[in-house]
Copies of this chain bind each other. A is one copy, B any other.
Amino acid sequence: MVDLITRRPLPDALAQAARIATQMIEAQLSDLSGPVPDAMIYAARGGKALRAFLAIETARLHGVPPQVAAHAAAAIECIHAYSLIHDDLPCMDDDDLRRGQPTVHKRWDEATAVLAGDALQALAFELLGRLDCADAAKLDLTLSLAQAAGVRGMVGGQAADIAAETADVPLTLDQIIALQAGKTGALMSWAALVGPRMALADQAALRLYGDCLGLAFQIADDVLDVTGDAALVGKALGKDAAAGKATFVSLLGLDGAKRRAVDLVTQACDALSDYGDDAETLKDAARFVTARTH
């Protein structure tokens, strides 16, 4: 029953990844009731599941079937979901809408949002502990996720983003790149390395792919913040410009930002050349990131 078909339409692969990650998270919580487990499941649903897809697809590329990578896919979606819950809090970005639905603190309350986020982070590490792979791979995945999620990764990027809002001088391009490498890039890169890490294989190609993809994704997000339709994107838009924050668009211009994103996607795809046709769905994913901005 090993499912190792490598080329498939991207929407199917994304939908499969979302299903696998969500079912895994729901299975962990199925015997619990109450606002906190309910909010955990609510927050884990309805996303693009791009990170779960990267985990599952890079695993497949290294001969690890989706069912075996499922715990890692669910783990990264837990971290992503927790970060969205906490970022949406009134004391942070103060957002009412996420993925087209009320944010957790609007649907429940702030205490539930804090706790559901906290528990999702713990669940991510619990899920990795249940992975069926070599001990060395499991330890590598766990330590690297802790680093990617922490003060030198995602939280550090988020803190730098908040600091930038009140800074006297707007950030430079290099500073924004460094900030985004933490805020968005660290989780994306971790997801792209699930395959080689589980298979104890070389990480270089997918590291480059993940780093380029993460940055392209954030540039595309900045572009969408200016050009997008809130109803389609599923969250409030135009907030960065309103806040006078430096973004890739303010620094590179709209066309310049789009060009940079396309260049990064080309780099990401080129990085996968040694994998041949097996990597086509991953390349499609990279192209999809910028396609959203056109």
Binding site for B on A (CB under 8 A): 29, 32, 34-37, 40, 82, 86, 89, 91-92, 109-112, 114-115, 117-119, 121-126, 128-130, 135-136, 138-139, 142-143, 145-147, 149-153, 155-156, 158-160, 162-163
Contacts and interface: CB of A to CB of B under 8 A. Distances in A.
Nearest to A86: B114
Given A114-B92, A158-B115, A163-B34, A126 B150 contact: yes
A36 B129 contact: no
Contacts of A142: 125, 128-129, 142
Contact of A149 (B92, B114, B122): B122
Contacts of A146: 122-126, 129
Contacts of A92: 111, 114
A85 to B, nearest CB: 10
Nearest to A124: B146
A138 B126 CA distance: 13
Nearest to A130: B143
B86 A118 contact: yes
| Closest 4 A/B residue pairs (Cβ) | A129-B143, A122-B150, A91-B110, A126-B146
Contacts of A119: 150-151, 155-156
Nearest to A92: B111
A127 to B, nearest CB: 8
B162 A111 contact: yes
Contacts of A153: 122
B129 A139 contact: yes
Nearest to A113: B91
Contacts of A118: 82, 86, 117-118, 121, 149, 155
A122 B40 CA distance: 18
Contact of A125 (B89, B117, B125, B130): B125
7 contacts: A34-B163, A121-B122, A125-B143, A126-B143, A126-B150, A129-B139, A135-B135
Contacts of A145: 125
User: Which of A114, A130, A149, A153 has most B Cβ within 10 Å?
Assistant: A114
Given A36-B155, A155-B36, A163-B34, A135 B139 contact: yes
Nearest to A143: B129
A170 B145 CA distance: 41
Contacts of A37: 151
A137 to B, nearest CB: 10
A93 B86 CA distance: 18
A269 to B, nearest CB: 31
A123 B151 contact: yes
B121 A121 contact: yes
